[in-house]
A and B are shown apart, each in its own frame.
Chain A
Amino acid sequence: MEDKKNGDDSLQTYDKPSTELEPKKDIAESCPAALEDVRPIATEAEKPAALEATKQANADRPPLLPAGHEPRRDEEASPVAASSVSAKKRQSFFAERPLPAIEMAPRILRYRSRRDFLVFGTGALAVLTGAGFLLPQETLSRIGIHRSMDSPAKEWFLNRALRIDDDVAEALYSANRKVPTYTKSQITPLKNNYNGATPDPGYISGWKLTLDGLDSGLIISLDIRSIQARFPVHEQITRLVCVEGWSAIAWWAGLRFDDLLRAYPPMSQAKWALVESSVNLDASGNPDPYFMALDLATGRHPQTLLATHFNGEPLTVDHGAPLRLLVPVKLGLKNVKAITKITYVAEEPRDYWAERGYSRYDGI
């Protein structure tokens, strides 16, 4: 900041070749007369003036240094300045400029250095404290910090950062922007990434989709035949992106979520859908119902499907038979398999992975 504040245009050639010197406020502190000594000498083109002014100044200046220094400087300064006059080359805008030379009283230099070292040292301590505060407990204990650093403040802070990222994702979303589609030759294998064990296919025969929070006030129950008979089929070859980083291009077919919303309108104040699957299992095979919050704006996107077919075949149990959500503008974890219930609500509902430290909106 001080560089800007004091950086006037007055430059002065000194004993070193083409080193230019700016009179600074620091000097003014030790020698108030210095600020009067302002000679605007800026570019190479103006060098003759610079030379002239320097010579005058040197001639006029009362000798402050031991006499031995003074003439030597004049002798050295003149030929160099003269040679740059003869060059008379205008510097291009991109050409490197000489670093601005400043004359400083040693006292002030020491004071400033001490101040800068203290400020930067404090900053380093603050960063270390911040790292201790923010790093996962497991990482800290690996480097020998076993004291528990977990706190509600830490959770709040990091979740706040996640929320900002979610807000950015929501701002980037556009209802009219479609995700890229691919050709059948670009299809890649899609692994079964059920979080826990894959459910036993026994549930499929008795499967029903329940709709709650409807405008009609009714609770609707639909089987897969009536869903497939009632709605037009849409196909798309899109990429599914997992939060883990992998992705797969697959050919999906099913009804648009938007068509279901039109056929069974949600209650007017609803802004969210809570999409649930009661058949999910944890790693050891115990029931672990899955629940996911989907904003209805995304639900109405033309590429948000309730998929019934995968790569031309009816969904297998691996991929969420008989009906799964396919929402390519969201991370894979929002693409709920084997949906059993959709509830329309006004407030943001619970979300399985958001409760486990992941983001909530998950728009990609």
Chain B
Amino acid sequence: MRLKFQRESLLVAPPQGAKSTSTLPEQPGVLVVSKHHFLVRWSHWLNIPLLLGLILSGISIYWASPIYQHNPDPSTGNTDVAADIGIWICAHVPGLHHYNSPPDWIYNHMSLGPGMLGLALRLHWFCAYLFMLNGMVYVAGLLSGGGWRSLLPRVTDFWDAFRMFRYYVGLPFAKLARREWPHPVFKTKYNALQRAAYFSVPVAGFLSAATGWAIHKPMQLHWLAALFGGYNAARVWHFWLMWVYIQFVVPHVVLVFADGWDTLRSMIVGWSTRVERSEVTANGG
């Protein structure tokens, strides 16, 4: 890997003691900002296998008793909406007409597989405990690195989020029309949309764990289930919270690559050479 330093703009001399008369060879340093605490970085990447494991095993568990069911289909006896979607996909997607089990298509492609509840439950608990541990590590990293301050929503976020949203919506058209389409300027670590996303995903993580416990222990923790509207409602919560991650991940990955190597690298090495983005005005909060 070759590091691309912005040598011209960032060259600075190593600070010298006032009285020292250094005779060391001249070695200019590179100014970087430390962006992510190492606990944040580790827990960030660990979320990929853990969430993948949780979602895949979760849909396998869902198979055993789907929360979205209808009256039995007169011809097939099917009651599961997810199976209907699989049947529709196999009927309409070219090349899938001869798929051997259309009702299982969703479960064959978006879960560990149908008919493996016991195996899926084992993996789900395993990943869930690690996910909760990982969440604690993440919070510890945010607290000790001070990164939590950059995630807090602010009043100005409503307008700023709208500006960012307008920017993203207009960007493809501006590119097509070869028009200038300047990125809104923010003097904070994240823009308002990023902040909204990076704030809500940990909240979703917490709610997933809470609804998970409500479903897992609806008797001993019946107060927790009641908080989400009862056992059945907690299952619905738990299901839709999964979609929060899916909805988050797609633009997250696209935008990280669009933003460039420095952003992706900073989640591995912790620092960024984009010093100018670290400027926060005194009343930035």
**For the complex, what is the distance from the CA of A243 to the CA of B119, rounded to whole Å?**
12
For B270, what are the chain A residues with a Cβ–Cβ distance below 8 Å?
3, 116
* Contact pick for B269, options A112, A173, A364, CB 8 Å: A112
* Contact pick for B20, options A18, A36, A114, CB 8 Å: A36
Supposing A36-B17, A105-B29 touch, asked if A247 and B219 sit within 8 A by C-beta, the answer is no
Interface flag for A283 (CB, 8 Å): no
Whether B33 lies near A65 (C-beta < 8 A) is no
Interface flag for B258 (CB, 8 Å): no
For A34, what are the chain B residues with a Cβ–Cβ distance below 8 Å?
14-17
**For the complex, what is the distance from the CA of A15 to the CA of B275, rounded to whole Å?**
11
**For the complex, what is the distance from the CA of A308 to the CA of B221, rounded to whole Å?**
28
* Contact pick for A27, options B14, B221, B269, B275, CB 8 Å: B14
For B217, what are the chain A residues with a Cβ–Cβ distance below 8 Å?
169, 172, 363-364
For A32, what are the chain B residues with a Cβ–Cβ distance below 8 Å?
24
Whether A247 lies near B16 (C-beta < 8 A) is no
**For the complex, what is the distance from the CA of A180 to the CA of B112, rounded to whole Å?**
34
Interface flag for B61 (CB, 8 Å): yes
Whether A245 lies near B61 (C-beta < 8 A) is yes
Whether B29 lies near A103 (C-beta < 8 A) is yes
For A117, what are the chain B residues with a Cβ–Cβ distance below 8 Å?
1, 268-269
Report the tally of A-B residue pairs with Cβ distances under 8 A. Answer: 271
Whether B188 lies near A105 (C-beta < 8 A) is no
Interface flag for B205 (CB, 8 Å): no
Interface flag for B13 (CB, 8 Å): yes
**Minimum CB distance partner of A92 in chain B:** B285
Interface flag for B11 (CB, 8 Å): yes
Whether B285 lies near A96 (C-beta < 8 A) is yes
Interface size (A, Cβ < 8 Å)?
99
Interface flag for B260 (CB, 8 Å): no
Interface flag for A322 (CB, 8 Å): no
Stretch at the interface among B86-94, B123-131, B165-173, B249-257: B123-131
Stretch at the interface among A53-61, A219-227, A337-345: A53-61
For A107, what are the chain B residues with a Cβ–Cβ distance below 8 Å?
27
Query: Interface majority SS on A: helix, strand, loop or mixed?
Result: mixed
Whether A61 lies near B13 (C-beta < 8 A) is yes
**For the complex, what is the distance from the CA of A165 to the CA of B127, rounded to whole Å?**
12
For A247, what are the chain B residues with a Cβ–Cβ distance below 8 Å?
218, 231-232
* Contact pick for A172, options B19, B28, B119, B220, CB 8 Å: B220
For A161, what are the chain B residues with a Cβ–Cβ distance below 8 Å?
122, 125-126, 129
Supposing A33-B20, A69-B11, A95-B149 touch, asked if A135 and B129 sit within 8 A by C-beta, the answer is no
Whether B34 lies near A99 (C-beta < 8 A) is yes
For A105, what are the chain B residues with a Cβ–Cβ distance below 8 Å?
14, 27, 29-30
Size class of the B contact interface (CB-based, 8 Å): 35 or more
For A246, what are the chain B residues with a Cβ–Cβ distance below 8 Å?
65
Give the residues from 141 to 165 in chain B that come closer than 8 angstroms, CB to CB, to chain A: 144-146, 149-150, 152
**For the complex, what is the distance from the CA of A61 to the CA of B19, rounded to whole Å?**
8
Interface flag for B97 (CB, 8 Å): no
Interface flag for A84 (CB, 8 Å): yes
* Contact pick for B15, options A15, A21, A106, A135, CB 8 Å: A21
Whether B269 lies near A113 (C-beta < 8 A) is yes
Supposing A30-B24, A33-B22, A98-B278 touch, asked if A357 and B119 sit within 8 A by C-beta, the answer is yes
| Closest CB in chain B relative to A14 CB, distance in Å | 6
**For the complex, what is the distance from the CA of A246 to the CA of B17, rounded to whole Å?**
71
Interface flag for A134 (CB, 8 Å): yes
Whether A158 lies near B22 (C-beta < 8 A) is no
**For the complex, what is the distance from the CA of A60 to the CA of B15, rounded to whole Å?**
11
| Closest CB in chain A relative to B109 CB, distance in Å | 9
Supposing A4-B144, A17-B279, A117-B1 touch, asked if A329 and B219 sit within 8 A by C-beta, the answer is yes
Whether B275 lies near A57 (C-beta < 8 A) is no
* Contact pick for A131, options B53, B119, B265, CB 8 Å: B53
**For the complex, what is the distance from the CA of A19 to the CA of B272, rounded to whole Å?**
14
**For the complex, what is the distance from the CA of A109 to the CA of B5, rounded to whole Å?**
10
Whether B49 lies near A131 (C-beta < 8 A) is yes
Whether B15 lies near A363 (C-beta < 8 A) is no
Supposing A116-B270, A162-B122 touch, asked if A364 and B220 sit within 8 A by C-beta, the answer is yes
* Contact pick for B282, options A14, A87, A101, A359, CB 8 Å: A87
Interface flag for A102 (CB, 8 Å): yes
* Contact pick for A245, options B15, B31, B35, B235, CB 8 Å: B235
Whether B269 lies near A61 (C-beta < 8 A) is no
Interface flag for A153 (CB, 8 Å): no
**Minimum CB distance partner of B267 in chain A:** A120
Whether B1 lies near A243 (C-beta < 8 A) is no
Whether B65 lies near A242 (C-beta < 8 A) is yes
Interface flag for A97 (CB, 8 Å): yes
**For the complex, what is the distance from the CA of A165 to the CA of B220, rounded to whole Å?**
14
Whether B231 lies near A241 (C-beta < 8 A) is yes
For B49, what are the chain A residues with a Cβ–Cβ distance below 8 Å?
127, 130-131
Interface flag for B32 (CB, 8 Å): yes
* Contact pick for B280, options A23, A96, A127, A180, CB 8 Å: A96
Whether B18 lies near A37 (C-beta < 8 A) is yes
Interface flag for B75 (CB, 8 Å): no
**Minimum CB distance partner of A110 in chain B:** B3
| Closest CB in chain B relative to A291 CB, distance in Å | 17
**For the complex, what is the distance from the CA of A116 to the CA of B22, rounded to whole Å?**
32
For A15, what are the chain B residues with a Cβ–Cβ distance below 8 Å?
12
27 contacting pairs across A/B (C-beta < 8 A)? A16-B279, A21-B12, A33-B22, A34-B15, A36-B17, A61-B15, A65-B12, A94-B285, A95-B149, A95-B280, A96-B149, A99-B189, A102-B31, A102-B32, A109-B3, A136-B123, A139-B113, A142-B108, A161-B129, A162-B122, A165-B125, A169-B217, A169-B220, A172-B217, A174-B220, A356-B118, A359-B121
